[in-house]
Amino acid sequence: MTTQRNKVHHVRTVERVAKDLGADVDLIHHLALGLEPEDGLIWVYGLDNDGILAFTDDGIEEVRRLLDEYRRDTSSQS
């Protein structure tokens, strides 16, 4: 029997993803509300118990898709 192992070897913080995508951190947080770990969303906890939102490569692609959709919707309302 083979056990599936997590093959994620790096993640990027929400701040890094927002900067790379040219978006506001709060907007990325808002867009990520409906995402699950299966979508590439990860919470990273340190000693202070404050979680930092982070994304796998798949999660970044999902956020990029959501951001593109958000931008299309907001530009069509203008």
pTM of the model: 0.84
Can you spell out the DSSP letters for the chain? -PPP-------EEHHHHHHHHT--HHHHHHHGGG--GGGTEEEEE-TT--EEEEE-HHHHHHHHHHHHHHHHHHHHT-
| Cβ–Cβ < 8 Å for 57, 64 | no
For residue 4, being part of any structural domain is answered with no
Is 14 a residue whose pLDDT tops 70? Answer: yes
For residue 37, being part of any structural domain is answered with yes
Convert the pLDDT of each residue in 20-75 to its tens digit.
999 999 999 999 999 999 999 999 998 988 899 999 999 999 999 999 999 999 88
For residue 28, being part of any structural domain is answered with yes
Which residues form the domain of 58? 12-76
Q: Looking at the 3D structure of the chain, how many domains does it have?
A: 1
For residue 42, being part of any structural domain is answered with yes
Can you give the length of the chain in residues?
78
Biggest alpha carbon–alpha carbon distance for the chain: 56
For residue 46, being part of any structural domain is answered with yes
